């Protein structure tokens, strides 16, 4: 069973706070932007031309960024019916094999993500079908832009001399939204490796939970146990003001 | 042959404890790399496009967000109070009220385990105090909690709709009557048992209490009305106003406003800073919430409040979990479509003389077994792309098939030996797994009858969507 993730150390807490806030921010922006678009359309009969595309980009960022966080806090769903009935030793072996498979998956995803993103950043793809065996000359696609999103030149203007031969982007170049693919999959690989090492050390049981409310159930079960020990948590305590 | 290998690999990895998403993705990637000339880059592209290219799936994060704001303990308590006021005075009234509360909360939350936790923690304790046996209480909640995925708005239905390209609006409407019917059947069963065993009944608190508790629960229940009226229009006045995705976004904004400024269980106006959900379930919130006039700056600070961030994060986590699975399932779907696998199976089945009825039995069995082990959305994205083309081939209505699949997974969740809801209930009620299984059995039988009805009487699911949205056009 999972226990709630607690960040360790100052850096751990800072990174955790960043991840959590970023996830919350992405989802909040998606919801707010959709809501504003709907209101504008139905009440003011106006529209923001780029809103849908931006919402979908935020959606992709939310998921691809968040998957690594999910591995960190052991939130991904799996089937634990079989592994739970195994004795301790075999269960750990199964968890290690599962970890190895997940690392392989993350690695393949990272190679694919790099290969997909690189041409948009005027970089080279890796050669090789399964494993990167080196870099191969790739026709660059840095001039590819998104459909409607404004270029935000004050923020991304420095890209133009770097990858677009100094030409001005009329729309946001695709290299920006797609960058989450290599970044996100590198983070996934990192978090999965960490998790597998924790399993090897015996600090962690598995990579998975069996349903989304596991944490809440444990909380309820814990309060239940506590409730049985002391029928009334206020027994023997002076009631706080306003409570009789 | 390759296909058998593919599915053996997926199931093998799943049982080993590999996350569902990775099992699907890894097997599909291996399959594509070995048997086709697809590159890893195009797989990464389809992973990105799973989100950026699917407008319907965008409804999932917004529904989850709306229900996160609405599934705090405070809303659950208001709904339970309203249910008890309505039906608490019948024999076995508290149990019936539990089912009623589960139905309403299910409509808000869309998740079965979450419903069991929110309603179960309060109702099971209350039933024990009122003199019911713990077993009876657990059995009732365990079963009623599964209604979460059948009563719209349901996330599982959005997943089904996007996996098979049917209309989300139709799926939601198709779930209404089966959802009400299942709840009604459970209530009748409880009433019969209660009368036989002479179970306790409450006192009718009067119409005043019904009205007062309704007014209190109204803001939460309005969420369902906003979604339904948004998608289908106000009857007799307007046509459809929003797409399901827009309706979900509006609903999440509404839920935010209600949670922050009306119920004030969380946020800047909450009586105690950072009221955790667990604490809100454990007991009544102490003190009275602040009024907006006392703290008008809350209009701004609510957006940045710690509770807002935490609720967004909770919803974000759930979205990430589900979408990670769905994105990988879309890679699998790509493999299946490329290889024409479902079509091949359909031809084989037709060739062997299997009809729709046999096919539906096969689907029932697969989902009942799968539903025990796996979270419904995860199971659905694996099974739907496989059985959907076969069903179309056999002339089964896609909406009807969707409802059958949802009901099947509901029952899978409470079927011994390993149904998910059984685990959740045993945790919430503090009972052993075996005693929950025994307690759930009589009601499981009721739901089984319900499954057979839904499977073989298509009208139960199809009547309402056809009435509201007109006959469906099926493109083969």
Asked if B380 reaches chain A (Cβ–Cβ under 8 Å), the answer is no
Peptide bond before B417: cis, by omega within 30 degrees of 0? yes
A212 contacts B17? CB cut-off 8 A: no
Flag whether pLDDT at A144 surpasses 90: no
d(CA A203, CA A225): 25
Model confidence pLDDT, tens digit, residues A71-81: 998 888 888 87
pLDDT for position A224: 63
Asked if B33 reaches chain A (Cβ–Cβ under 8 Å), the answer is yes
Q: Residue B280: closest CA among chain A residues belongs to which residue?
A: A220
Instruction: Place A41 in a pLDDT band, splitting at 50, 70 and 90.
Output: confident
d(CA A116, CA B174): 41
pLDDT for position A114: 94
B15 contacts A82? CB cut-off 8 A: yes
B310 to chain A: which residues are within 8 Å by CB? Answer: 24
B423 to chain A: which residues are within 8 Å by CB? Answer: 210-211, 217
d(CA B65, CA B71): 10
| pLDDT digit string (tens) for chain B, length 476 residues | 677 888 899 889 988 889 989 999 999 999 999 988 888 999 999 999 988 888 888 888 998 888 888 876 578 888 888 888 888 888 888 888 889 888 888 888 777 777 888 888 888 888 888 888 888 888 888 888 888 788 888 888 888 888 888 888 889 889 989 999 999 999 999 889 888 887 777 777 778 888 888 888 888 888 888 888 888 877 767 777 888 888 889 989 998 888 888 887 777 777 654 445 555 554 444 556 777 777 777 777 777 778 888 889 988 998 998 899 889 988 888 888 887 877 787 788 778 777 788 888 888 888 888 877 777 888 888 888 888 888 888 888 889 999 999 998 888 888 876 677 888 888 888 888 788 888 888 888 998 899 999 988 888 888 888 887 777 766 55
Q: Which of B61, B250, B308 sits opposite A35 (nearest CB)?
A: B250
pLDDT for position A20: 92
Q: Residue B49: closest CA among chain A residues belongs to which residue?
A: A60
Asked if A105 reaches chain B (Cβ–Cβ under 8 Å), the answer is yes
Q: Residue A115: closest CA among chain B residues belongs to which residue?
A: B41
pLDDT for position A226: 59
Q: Which residue has the higher pLDDT, B288 or A110?
A: A110
Q: Which residue has the higher pLDDT, B168 or A101?
A: A101
pLDDT for position A239: 38
Model confidence pLDDT, tens digit, residues A224-239: 665 554 344 333 333 3
CA-closest candidate to residue A81, choices B431, B335, B128, B375: B375
Instruction: Place A53 in a pLDDT band, splitting at 50, 70 and 90.
Output: very high
Minimal CA separation from A157 to chain B, in Å: 24
Residues B141, B142, B144, B149: is their CA dihedral positive or negative? positive
Asked if B320 reaches chain A (Cβ–Cβ under 8 Å), the answer is yes
DSSP one-letter code for B261? I
Asked if B19 reaches chain A (Cβ–Cβ under 8 Å), the answer is yes
Q: Which of B281, B308, B320 sits opposite A70 (nearest CB)?
A: B320
Residues whose CB is less than 8 angstroms from the CB of residue B331 and which lie 6 or more positions away in sequence, other chains included: B24, B25, B28, B29, B32, B43, B46, B47, B50
Asked if A225 reaches chain B (Cβ–Cβ under 8 Å), the answer is yes
- The DSSP string of A187-225 is HHHHHHHHHHHHHHHTS---S-BSSTTHHHHHHHHHHHH
Three-state DSSP at B253 gives helix
Write out residues 3-62 of A within 8 Å (CB-CB) of B: 20-21, 23-28, 30-32, 34-35, 38, 42, 52, 55-57, 59-60, 62
pLDDT for position A3: 55
User: Strand pairing of A135-136 and A125-126?
Assistant: antiparallel
Q: What are the C-alpha distances in Å from B234 to residues A36, A42, A201, B230, B241?
A: 22, 15, 59, 8, 9
Angle between helices B20-35 and B40-52 (to 10 degrees): 140
A30 contacts B52? CB cut-off 8 A: no
pLDDT for position A149: 85
Model confidence pLDDT, tens digit, residues A166-223: 788 888 888 889 999 999 999 999 999 999 999 888 888 888 887 777 677 777 777 6
Q: Which ranges of chain A does DSSP label H, i.e. alpha helix?
A: 9-39, 51-72, 81-85, 88-117, 153-156, 159-163, 175-178, 180-201, 214-229
B418 to chain A: which residues are within 8 Å by CB? Answer: 81
A231 to chain B: which residues are within 8 Å by CB? Answer: none
pLDDT for position A197: 92
A66 contacts B48? CB cut-off 8 A: no
CA-closest candidate to residue B473, choices B158, B227, B150, B165: B165
Asked if A205 reaches chain B (Cβ–Cβ under 8 Å), the answer is no
Q: Which of A66, A79, A105 sits opposite B14 (nearest CB)?
A: A79
A223 contacts B428? CB cut-off 8 A: no
Asked if B51 reaches chain A (Cβ–Cβ under 8 Å), the answer is yes
């Amino acid at each position: 069973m999972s226990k709630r993730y607690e960040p360790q150390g100052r850096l751990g807490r800072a990174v955790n706070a960043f991840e959590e806030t970023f996830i919350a921010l992405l989802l909040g922006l998606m919801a707010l932007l959709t809501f504003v678009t709907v209101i504008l359309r139905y009440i003011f009969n106006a529209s923001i031309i780029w809103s849908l595309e931006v919402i979908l980009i935020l959606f992709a960022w939310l998921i691809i960024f968040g998957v690594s966080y999910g591995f960190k806090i052991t939130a991904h769903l799996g089937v634990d019916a079989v592994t739970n009935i195994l004795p301790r030793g075999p269960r750990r072996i199964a968890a290690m094999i599962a970890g190895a498979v997940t690392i392989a998956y993350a690695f393949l995803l990272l190679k694919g993500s790099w290969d997909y993103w690189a041409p948009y950043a005027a970089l080279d793809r890796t050669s090789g079908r399964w494993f990167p065996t080196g870099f191969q000359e790739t026709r660059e696609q840095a001039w590819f832009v998104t459909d409607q999103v404004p270029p935000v030149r004050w923020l991304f203007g420095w890209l133009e001399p770097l990858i677009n031969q100094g030409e001005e982007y009329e729309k946001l170049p695709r290299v920006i939204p797609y960058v989450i693919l290599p970044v996100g999959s590198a983070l996934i690989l990192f978090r999965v490796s960490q998790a597998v090492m924790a399993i090897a050390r015996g600090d962690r049981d598995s990579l998975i939970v069996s349903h989304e409310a596991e944490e809440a159930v444990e909380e309820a079960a814990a309060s239940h146990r506590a409730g049985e020990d002391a029928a009334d948590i206020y027994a023997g305590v002076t009631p706080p003001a306003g409570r009789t | 042959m390759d296909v058998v290998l593919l599915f053996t690999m997926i199931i093998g990895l799943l049982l080993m404890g590999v996350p569902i998403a990775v099992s699907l993705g890894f097997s599909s990637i291996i399959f594509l790399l070995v048997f086709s000339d697809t590159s890893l880059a195009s797989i990464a592209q389809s992973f990105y496009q799973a989100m950026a290219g699917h407008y319907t799936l965008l409804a999932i994060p917004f529904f989850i967000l709306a229900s996160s704001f609405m599934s705090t303990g405070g809303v659950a308590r208001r709904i339970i109070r309203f249910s008890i006021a309505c039906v608490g005075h019948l024999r076995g009234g508290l149990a019936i009220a539990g089912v009623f509360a589960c139905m309403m909360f299910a409509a808000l939350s869309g998740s079965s385990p979450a419903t069991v936790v929110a309603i179960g923690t309060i109702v099971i304790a209350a039933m024990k105090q009122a003199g019911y046996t713990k077993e009876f209480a657990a059995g009732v909640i365990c079963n009623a909690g599964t209604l979460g995925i059948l009563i719209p708005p349901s996330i599982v239905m959005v997943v089904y709709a996007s996996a098979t390209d049917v209309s989300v609006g139709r799926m939601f409407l198709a779930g209404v009557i089966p959802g009400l019917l299942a709840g009604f059947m459970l209530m009748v069963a409880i009433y019969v048992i209660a009368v036989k065993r002479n179970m306790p009944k409450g006192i009718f608190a009067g119409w005043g209490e019904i009205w007062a508790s309704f007014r209190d629960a109204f803001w939460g229940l309005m969420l369902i009305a906003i979604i339904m009226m948004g998608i289908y229009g106000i009857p007799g006045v307007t046509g459809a106003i929003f797409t399901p995705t827009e309706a979900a976004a509006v609903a999440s904004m509404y839920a935010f406003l209600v949670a922050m400024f009306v119920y004030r269980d969380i946020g800047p106006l909450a009586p105690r800073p950072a009221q955790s959900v667990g604490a809100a379930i454990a007991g009544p919130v102490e003190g009275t919430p602040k009024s907006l006039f006392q703290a008008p700056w809350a209009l701004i600070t609510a957006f940045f409040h710690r509770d807002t961030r935490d609720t967004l994060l909770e919803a974000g986590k759930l979205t990430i979990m589900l979408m990670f699975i769905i994105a990988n399932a879309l890679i699998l779907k790509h493999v299946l479509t490329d290889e024409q696998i479902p079509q091949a199976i359909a031809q084989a089945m037709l060739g062997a003389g299997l009809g729709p009825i046999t096919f539906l039995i096969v689907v029932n069995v697969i989902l009942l077994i799968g539903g025990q082990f796996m979270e419904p959305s995860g199971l659905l994205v694996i099974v739907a792309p496989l059985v959907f083309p076969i069903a179309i081939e056999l002339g089964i209505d896609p909406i009807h098939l969707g409802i059958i699949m949802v009901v099947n997974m509901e029952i899978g969740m409470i079927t011994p030996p390993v149904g998910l809801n059984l685990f959740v209930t045993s945790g919430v009620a503090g009972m052993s797994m075996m005693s929950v299984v025994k307690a759930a059995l009589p009601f499981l039988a009721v739901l089984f009858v319900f499954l057979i009805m839904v499977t073989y009487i298509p009208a139960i699911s199809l009547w309402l969507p056809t009435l509201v949205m007109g006959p469906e056009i099926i493109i083969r």
